[in-house]
Amino acid sequence: MRRWALTLLVVPSLALAQADSLTTRLTAAIALHERGERARATRAFSQFIDIYNASAARLTSRELVAVAIACTYLGIDDPQLFKDALTAFDRAIAVDPRNIDARVRLAELFLGKYNSGDAKATLRDALAQDASYVPALVAEARRRDFDQEPGADSLLARALRADAEHVAARTLGARLRADVEDFAGANREIQRALRADPQAAEALAFGVALAVVTGDSSTAQTLRARFTSRYPRDARAHVATAELLARVRQYAQAASVARQGTTADPSSWAAHSTLGLNLLRLGEVADARRSLETAFAGDPYNVWVKNTLDLLDTYGEYDEITHGRFRFVIEKPESRLLSLYLGPLMDRAFDTFVRRYGFTPDGPVRVEVYRSHADFSVRTVGLAGLGALGVSFGNTIAFDSPAARDAGAFNWGSTAWHELAHTFTLGATDMRVPRWLSEGLSVYEERRARKGWGQGVTPAFLQAYASGRLVPASRLNDGFVRPEYPQQVLFSYYQASLVCELIAQEFGEKALLDMLQGYRAGQTTEQVIRNVLRMDLPALDRRFDAYMQERFGRTLAVLGDESPNVSQRMPSQALVARAAVQPRNYGVQLAVGRALMQRGDTAVSVAALERARALFPEYAGGDGPYPLLARALLARGDKLGASQLLLAMRDLGEFPHDAHELLGDLLLQTGDTARAAEAFEDAMFVNPYDIGRHETLAALYARLGNHAKAVRERLAVLALNPVDRAQAFYLLAVAQRDAGDVASARRSVLRALEEAPHFERAQELLLALRARGGGP
Amino acid sequence: MRKLALVAVLVAAGVTTARAQTQLVIVSGLGGDPRYTREFSALATALAQAARDRGGMPDSAITWFGEASAPQGEGPWYRGTSTRANVEQTLGRLAARESEEQLVLVLIGHGSGEGAQTRISLPGPDLTAADFARLLDAFGDRRVAFINMTSASGDMLPVVAARGRVVVTATKSAFERNESRFGRFFVDALSKDGADSDKDERVSLFEAFHYADAETKRFYESEQRIATEHPQMADEGQLARRFFLSAGAAGAASTDPRVVALYAERAKLEERITALRARKAEMTVEAYEAELERLLVSLAEKSQEIRRLERGS
C-alpha cells in the first residue's frame, strides 16, 4: 500500500469528504467511464484511494468493495493497482466474512487476471457460504470453462434455475454454446439476456460478435449501434467479436476487428493482445510483436502474451527458408536437415490438394517447425501443455519437429501433410469449414497420401462405438470442442475421417467438394447435409451407423472385452484351453497369444495370434497380432515371412513408428533393395537423426540408380555434422557426379579437400572432374 | 610470417614423432556387475586389437591389466590383475627404460573421489590422480598420453596434466558419476573408420578425442537425455594432433631425387593452403574458392605423381 500512503500525505482533506454512500459515487464513476469520459472517471476513481488512506479502519465491508472496484478501473492504466484492489477485497472480507459479494468479485478479479487457482479457492469459500448464490455459481462456471474442467454447463443450469433471467449467466451460456459452434443456441441465450437488460455491456458485446460470425449483418449493426451509443470508446464488442471470429478461424477478420478495437479504446489491452495473436496466426510476425508488446505493457498479468513474446524472442535462432510456395521457419540446428525432406513433401502435398480442392492459397504458406513442444504449444494456444502435434491457422501451419518428442514418437511427415490439408479446406471455404470436416478430411488425406500413414481402426474405437460413447455423426464437432472424455477427441478424428470416406464412397468425391462450397456460402451443417447429401441430420446418423455395421459389423461381433480374463500366471495348458473356449473372441485370442509368446511358447502362441488376426485383420496397431506374429517368424529365422507380414501390416493403416527401420532391415537382408529403400525413406519421417541410416539409404539409392535421392541423403549426412566431414563431402561429390551435376560435385570435393588436403580419393576425384570440365 | 614458420616446424616435428615407438598400457578396473565387467573387458580388447591391427604395434608393446587374475579375452596382451602393485611396477619399469618410447596409458572402469584423490576402482587398493601424476613424472620429457575413460574422471585432468602430456578425461568433473559412454566412442575412433578427419590414414589422439566427444554429444541428443558427461582434453604441448597409437615405424624414405623434390614442393603447397585457409574470412567466396582449387589441384597432381613414382620404384 506504499502508493496509498503517499497519496494520503498530499490530500488528507479529501478523506473528510467521504461520501455517505461510496457505492453511489462508484456507480457515478463507472457511468463516466462507460460514457467514455475517461479523465473524469479516473479522477473520480482516484478519490476512493484517498478515502481509503484516510479512513480504511472505519470503512464497512461494502465500502471496501467499492474501493476495490475503483482500483480495478484504475488498474487499466496502472496494472500495479490491481494489487491494491486485492488488498481492499481482502480487507472487505476480513471486516465481514459473510460478504459473499466481496468473495465473488475478488474471484472475478483473479479470473480477469488469469489466476484461476486463487479464483477457485475464493469461489470454494463463497459457495461453502451459500451454495445457491447465483453470481458465485456463474463465476465458478466461468472458472471451470477457463480451466477446461467439466461442470461449467451444470453449474450454469443451477444458476438459471435459481434466476432464469440472470444476464451474466445467460451471456456465459451463449459463450459456451458458441464454443461448440451452436450459434443458434447461443443467440437464443443472448436474446434472453438482452430482454432482461437491453443495455448489458457483455451481452450486447457478445450479441454483436454472434451476429457478425453468423453473417447477420443487420442485427450486428443494430446491436453495435446500441453498444456504441451506451459505451462509446469501449472495445469490448470488438474484442468479443475478434475472439469469436478467431474461434471459427476467421483470423484475418479477427485481426481487422481487433485493430478497430485498439482505435476505439487504445487502453483496451485485450484488443491489443487479440490483434497481436491473430496477426501471428496470419504469419505477420513483426506487427504481431508490436501489438503484443503494447498489450503486455498494459497488462503484465497476461500469461499468454508473455509466453508468446518470450517465444518471439527466440525467433532469431530460426532460419527462414523460402521454398517455392512456402516459407519454412525451422530452428537453425536442424533447418538444413528437415528442409531436405519437407520441401519435396510439401510440394507434393500442395500439388495434390490444388488438384483435389480446386483452390490455391494466396501467397506463401508459412511452415513453422518447433524443436521444443512447449514452444509449439505456446505458438498454438499461448500456454505449454497442448497435446496436439500440429496446427493450421490457414496460411500458417506449425508442428513439432521430430526432436520435440521421444525418438520415434510420431510421424512428422504425415503431421505436416495433415496440417497442409487444413490450409486447403480452410482456404477453400473462406475459413468456414467446421472443425469435424476439416479434421476428417485431413486424416482421410493422410491415409491417401502414403501407405502406413493416417489413423486406422482400433479395438478401442470400435468398443467406444459399440458402447455408444462416440458422438453421432451429425454432432461430430462436439467430439472435438467439448469432449466428454479424453479419448473422445482422438476417436473423433478417426470417426470424422470415416464420415468423409462414407460420403466419398456413397456420394462421390465431388460431394465432399460440394459440402465445402456449402460451408463457404455460409450454410449450416444441417443445410449442407440436406443440400448436398439430400438427407437430414438424423438420416446421416442412421447412414453412418449402417456404414459402421457394414464395414466393422463382423469385427464388432468378435471384439470381446477390453480386458479379457487372461493372466500371465495361468499355465500354458490353461491358456490354450481358454483360447479354445472362445475361438471367436479377438481379445481373448490376442491376450492368450501374447501371454504364450512372453513365456517363450512361440509355436503355440502363433495359432492364437493367427486367429486374432483372422478375426480383426484390419487392425495394424503395435499392440495387435501383427508385430507378435512377425516376432514369431523372426524367431524361426523366417525373415522373408516377417517382412511380408510387416508389409501387409503397413498397407492397412498407421504403421507403428518404430517398425519402419525393422522392415527396412528385413527387406535389405532378403534382397528387396527397392522396398528396403522405401521403408528407410518412411523411417526418415519418424527419426531423421541417425547418420548411419542416411548413409545406408544413400548407398541403396546409388545402387538403385536414384542419384537425386542419393545426393539428398548425402546432404542429410552433412546436415547432421558428422565428425568425418571430409569423407561426407567426398561421398556427396561422388553422388553429385553420378547424378550428372559435375559443378556441384567439384564444389563438394573441394570442401572435402579443404578439410583434408591429402585425402587421396578426393584428390583423384577432383582431377577426374576437372578432366570432365565441371566448373565451380 | 611468424605463423608460417611455426607451421613448418610442426610439420617437420610431426614426421619425427610419428616414428617414436609406443607402449600401450590398458588398466581396466572393477566392474562391480557382470555387465560392466564384460563391457570393460570388451573395450580393452578392442583397443588392444586396434593398436595391433591398425597401429601396427607389436604384441609385446601392449599391456593389459584387468579385473580377472587369469588371462581373458582374445590376444596375448593380458598381463594379470589390475592391482595397484602391478600397474606401478609396469609403469616404473617402462619409465626406467632408456629410450624415446612414448607411453599411452588408458584407464577403463568406474571412477570416484575428488581432486587429487580422484580414483579408479581396482581390485585391492585404488590408484588416485596423485598416484598417476607421480608415476608419470618418472617419464621425464618423454611423451605421455593419459586417457582416463572412467566415470567421475574430470578432476584427474588438472592433477595429471603437464607439458609434454596429452590428458583426456571422460567427464569434466568428479560430479559426473553416471555411466560414461565416451570410452566406447574413443575406442571406436581408434578401431573403426570415421575418425580420420584429415584423411592421412591415421587417427591421432586429437582426432580420436574429437570423434568421441562429438559422438557422445550425439548420443545424448538422439536419446533426448541430459548429458551427464563432458569429455575434456589438456594438450599443453600441442601434441595430440601428432600423437598416434601406432608402432611409429616409418617406411624407408625415398632416395629418388624426383620424389624428394616432389615432397618438398608438396610441403610448400600445404603451407600455402594453410595460409589461404587462415585468410578465408578476409576474402570473397569466389576468390577464395578459385585459389583453393588452384592449390588443391596442384597438390593432387603432386601427390599423384609421388604415388606413381613410389609405386614404380
What is the ipTM score, two decimals?
0.73
Distance from the Cα of B268 to chain A's closest Cα (Å) equals: 13
Cα–Cα dist B313/B295, whole Å? 27
Instruction: Say if residue B236's pLDDT is above 50.
Output: yes
- Residue in A691, A727, A763 nearest the CB of B300: A763
Does A756 lie at the interface with B, CB-CB under 8 angstroms? yes
H-helix or E-strand spanning residue A323:
strand A318-323
Q: What is the DSSP letter of B170?
A: S
Grid cell locating A148: 477446461
Query: Which chain A residues are within 8 Å of B263, Cβ to Cβ?
Result: none
pLDDT of B2: 30
Cα–Cα dist A15/A758, whole Å? 90
Residue of B nearest to A724 (CA): B197
Query: Which chain A residues are within 8 Å of B218, Cβ to Cβ?
Result: 691, 720
Could you tell me if A717 and A747 are in contact, meaning their C-beta atoms sit under 8 angstroms apart? Answer: no
Q: Across the interface, do A725 and B194 touch by the CB < 8 Å criterion? A: no
pLDDT of A18: 46
Could you tell me if A274 and A242 are in contact, meaning their C-beta atoms sit under 8 angstroms apart? Answer: yes
Helix, coil or strand: residue A425: helix
Share of chain B residues as helix, strand and coil, in percent rounded to the nearest 5: 50, 15, 35
**What beta strand segments (E) does A351-462 contain?**
365-370, 390-392, 396-400
**Beta-ladder partners of B28:** B108
- Residue in B195, B215, B301 nearest the CB of A767: B301
Q: A 724-743 residues with CB below 8 A of B? A: 724-727
Cα–Cα dist A144/A137, whole Å? 10
The 10 Å Cβ neighbour count of residue A46 is: 19
Does B15 lie at the interface with A, CB-CB under 8 angstroms? no
Does B5 lie at the interface with A, CB-CB under 8 angstroms? no
Q: A 381-410 residues with CB below 8 A of B? A: 403, 406-407
Which of B272, B293, B294, B297 should one mutate to test binding to chain A, selecting the residue with the greatest count of A CBs within 10 A? B293
Grid cell locating A657: 513408428
Distance from the Cα of A280 to chain B's closest Cα (Å) equals: 30
pLDDT of B6: 29
pLDDT of A563: 67
Could you tell me if A141 and A159 are in contact, meaning their C-beta atoms sit under 8 angstroms apart? Answer: yes
Q: Please report, to the nearest 10 degrees, the dihedral formed by the alpha carbons of residues A243, A248, A249, A251 taken in order.
A: -40
pLDDT of A562: 62
Q: Across the interface, do A750 and B290 touch by the CB < 8 Å criterion? A: no
Q: Which amino acid is at A664?
A: G
Q: B 219-248 residues with CB below 8 A of A? A: 221-224
Query: Which chain B residues are within 8 Å of A770, Cβ to Cβ?
Result: 297
Beta strand B119-120 pairing with B127-128: antiparallel
Query: Which chain A residues are within 8 Å of B291, Cβ to Cβ?
Result: none
Could you tell me if A242 and A271 are in contact, meaning their C-beta atoms sit under 8 angstroms apart? Answer: yes
Q: What is the DSSP letter of B244?
A: B
Grid cell locating A252: 484475418
Does A374 lie at the interface with B, CB-CB under 8 angstroms? no
pLDDT of B253: 60
pLDDT digits (tens, 9 = 90+) for A429-441: 999 999 999 999 9
Grid cell locating A387: 497435446
Query: Which chain A residues are within 8 Å of B277, Cβ to Cβ?
Result: 754
Could you tell me if A558 and A615 are in contact, meaning their C-beta atoms sit under 8 angstroms apart? Answer: yes
Q: What is the DSSP letter of B69?
A: S
Q: Across the interface, do A750 and B196 touch by the CB < 8 Å criterion? A: no
Could you tell me if B72 and B28 are in contact, meaning their C-beta atoms sit under 8 angstroms apart? Answer: no
Q: Across the interface, do A758 and B196 touch by the CB < 8 Å criterion? A: no
Cα–Cα dist A156/B313, whole Å? 98
Q: What mean pLDDT is predicted for residues B274-301?
A: 93
Cα–Cα dist A278/A292, whole Å? 10
Q: Across the interface, do A689 and B222 touch by the CB < 8 Å criterion? A: yes
pLDDT of A22: 86
Does B198 lie at the interface with A, CB-CB under 8 angstroms? yes
Alpha-helical (H) ranges within chain B are 2-18, 34-53, 84-96, 129-137, 156-160, 182-191, 205-222, 257-278, 285-312
Query: Which chain A residues are within 8 Å of B292, Cβ to Cβ?
Result: 750, 754
Q: Across the interface, do A763 and B224 touch by the CB < 8 Å criterion? A: no
Cα–Cα dist B9/B102, whole Å? 20
Helices A487-507, A459-466: crossing angle, 10 deg rounding: 90
Which residue in A95, A144, A150, A153 sits closest to A124, CA to CA?
A: A144
Cα–Cα dist A336/B12, whole Å? 40
The 10 Å Cβ neighbour count of residue A414 is: 29
pLDDT of B71: 63
Residue of A nearest to B271 (CA): A757
Q: Across the interface, do B199 and A723 touch by the CB < 8 Å criterion? A: no
Which residue in B158, B225, B153, B140 sits closest to B186, CA to CA?
A: B153
Which residue in A757, A766, A775 sits closest to B276, CA to CA?
A: A757
- Residue in A747, A755, A763 nearest the CB of B197: A755
Side-chain-side CA neighbours of residue A601 (13 Å): 18
Q: How many CB pairs below 8 Å do chains A and B form together?
A: 84
Could you tell me if A422 and A397 are in contact, meaning their C-beta atoms sit under 8 angstroms apart? Answer: yes
Does A5 lie at the interface with B, CB-CB under 8 angstroms? no
- Residue in A689, A720, A763 nearest the CB of B303: A763
- Residue in A723, A747, A753 nearest the CB of B211: A723
Does B100 lie at the interface with A, CB-CB under 8 angstroms? no
Which of B219, B277, B296, B310 should one mutate to test binding to chain A, selecting the residue with the greatest count of A CBs within 10 A? B296
Backbone angles phi, psi at A196, to 5 degrees: -70, -40
pTM here is 0.83
Helix, coil or strand: residue A410: coil
Cα–Cα dist A696/A676, whole Å? 10
pLDDT of A457: 94
pLDDT of B15: 34
Side-chain-side CA neighbours of residue A272 (13 Å): 19
Helix, coil or strand: residue A367: strand
Displacement of CA A747 from its chain's centroid (Å): 44
- Residue in B195, B199, B297 nearest the CB of A766: B297
Grid cell locating A631: 516376432
In order of A64, A253, A438, B293, the CA distances from B262 in angstroms are 97, 75, 71, 19
Beta strand A365-370 pairing with A390-392: unpaired
Query: Which chain A residues are within 8 Å of B193, Cβ to Cβ?
Result: 724
pLDDT digits (tens, 9 = 90+) for B82-100: 999 999 999 999 999 878 8
Q: How many helices (H) and strands (E) does chain B have?
A: 9, 10
Could you tell me if A336 and A329 are in contact, meaning their C-beta atoms sit under 8 angstroms apart? Answer: no
Backbone angles phi, psi at B28, to 5 degrees: -105, 130
The 10 Å Cβ neighbour count of residue A336 is: 17
Which of A410, A758, A766 should one mutate to test binding to chain B, selecting the residue with the greatest count of B CBs within 10 A? A758
Task: Please report which confidence band the pLDDT of residue B20 belongs to, taking 50, 70 and 90 as the band edges.
Answer: low
Distance from the Cα of A412 to chain B's closest Cα (Å) equals: 16
Q: Across the interface, do A763 and B277 touch by the CB < 8 Å criterion? A: no
Edge-to-edge strands, sheet with A326-331: A318-323, A326-331, A365-370, A396-400, A390-392
Q: Which amino acid is at A756?
A: A
Q: Across the interface, do A764 and B293 touch by the CB < 8 Å criterion? A: no
Helices A61-74, A22-34: crossing angle, 10 deg rounding: 20
Distance from the Cα of A748 to chain B's closest Cα (Å) equals: 11
Q: Which segments in chain A show pLDDT lower than 50?
A: 1-19, 776
Residue of B nearest to A763 (CA): B300
- Residue in A726, A746, A767 nearest the CB of B304: A767
Cα–Cα dist A441/A357, whole Å? 11
In order of A345, A552, A693, the CA distances from A339 in angstroms are 9, 40, 17
In order of A11, A57, A137, B54, B195, the CA distances from B201 in angstroms are 88, 88, 79, 10, 10
Q: Across the interface, do A723 and B222 touch by the CB < 8 Å criterion? A: no
Distance from the Cα of B194 to chain A's closest Cα (Å) equals: 6
Residue B106, C-beta contacts closer than 8 angstroms, at least 6 positions apart: B24, B25, B26, B27, B44, B47, B147, B148, B149
Q: What is the DSSP letter of A104?
A: H
Grid cell locating A85: 484492489
Residue A574, C-beta contacts closer than 8 angstroms, at least 6 positions apart: none
Could you tell me if A219 and A207 are in contact, meaning their C-beta atoms sit under 8 angstroms apart? Answer: yes
Distance from the Cα of B70 to chain A's closest Cα (Å) equals: 36
Residue A646, C-beta contacts closer than 8 angstroms, at least 6 positions apart: A626, A630, A659, A662, A663, A666
Q: Across the interface, do B273 and A725 touch by the CB < 8 Å criterion? A: no
Could you tell me if A427 and A359 are in contact, meaning their C-beta atoms sit under 8 angstroms apart? Answer: yes
Q: Across the interface, do B304 and A756 touch by the CB < 8 Å criterion? A: no
Could you tell me if A390 and A415 are in contact, meaning their C-beta atoms sit under 8 angstroms apart? Answer: yes
**What beta strand segments (E) does A609-716 contain?**
none
Q: Across the interface, do A690 and B222 touch by the CB < 8 Å criterion? A: yes
- Residue in B193, B290, B297 nearest the CB of A770: B297
Does A763 lie at the interface with B, CB-CB under 8 angstroms? yes
Cα–Cα dist A373/A389, whole Å? 8
Q: A 661-690 residues with CB below 8 A of B? A: 689-690
